[in-house]
Amino acid sequence: MRSLFPELEHRRQVHLYRRRRVSEGMQGPELRIDGRSMLGFCSNDYLGLAGHPRVIEAMQEGAARYGVGSGAAHLVNGHSAAHHQLEEELAEFTGRPRALLFSTGYMANLGVVSGLLGTGDRFYGDRLDHASLIDGGLLSRARFRRYPHGDIQLLGEWLNPRGDGRVLVATDGVFSMDGDLAPLHGLAKLCAEKEAWLMVDDAHGLGVLGREGRGSLEQFGLGVDEVPVLVGTLGKAFGTFGAFVAGSEALIETLIQQARSYIFTTALPPAVAQATRASLSLVRDEEWRREKLRMLIVLFREGASQLGLPLMASETPIQPIVVGTAQKAMAWSRGLEAEGIMVSAIRPPTVPENSSRLRVTLSAAHTEQQVLRLLDALGKLKVEDPL
Ligand SMILES: *Cc1c(COP(=O)(O)O)cnc(C)c1O
């Protein structure tokens, strides 16, 4: 077999090589990475719940009650009371008849798209949709096309000849690398007109957007009729792990029968479901976390624009600074690292060519002082390495 080394070496040369860092200690803004203290701005723990004492305690109690592993898939004997109660609470939280837990968001998206669609059906996704939606589209055997970011007009043309099969349109609610919101009103109207189903992956909206943290759909005032399929993940604002799909009785029953990434995998540890029940109540009740986050977002954007940094049109905790080449993004990331600040450089293929960026993410767990420290470091960096 041909050696793997040349391709790895090429990756290194074009600044696309990825490596992992070893993090020790508690999840939160103050990190210990590769043995060094760092201030992190790259976590998706937007509300600061990953290390919350009540969430930790719930996980410990869950492990003591149920054991660590779930033992089997949900359809065998892995579906615990903790899973079941969490599903009911998520259905209530999202205002939908049913919710179904998946082991990860990646698997939820694969399961929904490939479980609902097959040969003869059509699937459309935004060009900037998460990789798991794209992979779901490829796996489904449906006809699959990606429309230019937010281009409702073109999507409308593509939806025109209706045909016989099912038509599913999927979009991120908040785009994970840009932080902007999908044009959900327009998409919902279009899908209603063309009799297509709309699916929203709200991995970065749930917990963060809307007064009660119900995400993009709360922000836009959309319900199960306009958006029949809602996917949420639990590893981001909820601070735990896993994902869910929420929708009608028929949708959830269909997924239980047909979603292979639901059927053929071990259920989440029940203790994780218990921890998520605790974090869900914090998400719902502690509105101050969202308010604090909004305040920090404003603080960061004001400071960054004073520094002349190119911000994107994002009102979410995802605040990318697009610098261009992968090389430059790496240089900026290393420059911040020298100041003890960790912000990850996002490069192709995660983002399009020449739009490499620093992906700054803010959390309610950050202090104002920490955000000012980031701005200070960015200011120094800009002097040394102008855009
Ligand atoms: C993180 C993410 C996922 C995947 O969720 P996991 O639970 O991490 O597998 C899916 N969609 C979007 C938009 C995401 O950002």
Distance in angstroms (rounded) separating the CA atoms of residues 318 and 44: 9
How far is the centre of ligand 1, averaged over its atoms, from the C-alpha of 163 (Å)? 31
Q: Which of 52, 83, 130, 236 is catalytic?
A: 236
CA of 262 to the centre of ligand 1 (A): 16
Which residue out of 204, 292, 328, 366 is catalytically annotated?
A: 204
Written as six digits, the tokens of 153 are 């007009």
Indicate which atom in ligand 1 lies nearest the CA of residue 233.
7
**The two structure tokens encoding residue 189:** 């109207």
Predicted pLDDT of residue 190: 98
pLDDT digits (tens, 9 = 90+) for 2-52: 999 999 999 999 888 988 999 999 999 999 998 999 999 999 999 999 999
Query: In degrees to the nearest 10, what's the CA dihedral of 102, 186, 310, 238?
Result: -20
Residue 129 CA: nearest ligand 1 atom is 13
Catalytic residue, chosen from 70, 114, 176, 333, is 176
Q: Ligand 1 atom closest to Cα of 172?
A: 13
Any ligand 1 atom below 6 A from CB of 130: yes
Question: Active-site residue 176, yes or no?
Answer: yes
Ligand 1 pocket member 106 (CB < 6 A): yes
Which element (helix H / strand E) includes 295?
A: helix 287-306
Mean pLDDT across the stretch 97-114?
98
Q: What is the CB neighbour count within 10 angstroms for residue 70?
A: 24
Q: What pLDDT shows up at residue 384? A: 53
Ligand 1 probe mutation, 127, 132, 180, 344, most atoms within 8 A of CB? 132
**DSSP labels for 78-113?**
I--HHHHHHHHHHHHHHT-SEEEEES-HHHHHHHHH
pLDDT, tens only, 262-319:
999 999 999 999 999 999 999 999 999 999 999 999 999 999 999 999 999 999 999 9
pLDDT in tens, 150-165: 999 999 999 997 788 9
140 noted as active-site residue? no
- pLDDT number for residue 385: 57
Domain topology for 53-285: Aspartate Aminotransferase; domain 2 (3.40.640)
Quote the ligand 1 centre to 247 CA distance (angstroms): 18
DSSP letters spanning 329-351: HHHHHHHHHHTTEE-EEE-TTTS
Q: Where are the domains of the chain?
A: 10-40+287-384, 53-285
For residue 225, count other CB atoms closer than 10 A to its CB. 9
Q: Is 216 a catalytic residue?
A: no
For the chain, give the mean pLDDT.
96
Q: Whose CA is nearest to atom 8 of ligand 1?
A: 105
Short-list 229, 276, 246, CA closest to 99:
246
pTM of the model: 0.96
| pLDDT value for 161 | 77
Structure tokens at 115: 């479980």
Residue 42 C-alpha to ligand 1 middle, in angstroms? 15
The pLDDT value recorded for residue 148 is 97
Q: Give the tens place of pLDDT for each residue, 168-204.
A: 999 999 999 999 999 999 999 999 999 999 999 999 9
> Do 10-40+287-384 and 53-285 share a fold?
no
Place of tokens 């836009």: 220
- Mutation test of ligand 1: which of 103, 178, 201 has the most ligand atoms closer than 8 Å to its C-beta? 201
Which CATH code is given to the segment(s) 10-40+287-384?
A: 3.90.1150.10
- How far apart (Å, rounded) are the C-alpha atoms in residues 322 and 354? 9
Is the CB of residue 132 below 6 angstroms from any atom belonging to ligand 1? yes
Tell me if 80 sits within 8 A of 270, measured CB to CB.
yes
pLDDT of residue 382: 64
Report which protein residue has its CA nearest ligand 1's atom 4: 105
**Residues 107/261, Cβ–Cβ less than 8 Å:** yes
243 lines ligand 1 (CB under 6 A): yes
- Note the pLDDT of residue 16: 87
